[in-house]
Amino acid sequence: MTDFKAIDRSWTLFLDRDGVINHETVGDYITAWKDFRFYEGVKEALKIFASRFGRIIIITNQRGVSKGLMTEDDLLDIHTNMVEAITAAGGRIDGIYYCLDMHNDSPNRKPNPGMGYMAKRDFPEIDFAKTLMIGNTMGDMQFGKNIGAQTIFIPSNRPAPGLPDPYTDAVYPSLIAVAEDMAGM
């Protein structure tokens, strides 16, 4: 696992959304802002991360739009409100990349690296060798390894992989636990 002392403003943090930032129901979708609930400590964690990382990017699969469960405008409303709440708490999100594609073979659907490449196109200073990916699925972990990132698994609603694992560098109980460990080093 990356030594947190090595992380500075030249690093990028990639975050999954559902199950990391907000409560998720496995097999269901957050389709409106009224259903979005931050995990405890997430806004505080993002404030800590904002002081450490040069870029903070959300990478999220959102096939609920393609399934007709919500519109893209609904998704954008969720993201706008989420970013406003994070910013009001002293945190920051520099970009949000989402994949609406239904099929797993889409180059942009995690675990495929397309959304990471989109972020690098928009933020050319991103160095994948100085990237940390935090997620709650093995697809998130595989995405991280596919771009060359270090990975942290949060078992919010899925069992954590046993370590050592080829895709997972560390397991933490929550985003705030990662941030507190990073801040307290």
Question: 102-121 b/e with 16+ CB inside 10 Å = b?
Answer: eeeeeebbbbbbbbbbbbbe
Residues with a catalytic annotation lie at 16, 18
Residue 95 in contact with residue 121, Cβ under 8 Å? no
**185 in Cβ contact with 5 (< 8 Å):** yes
Pairing type for strands 131-135 and 95-99 reads unpaired
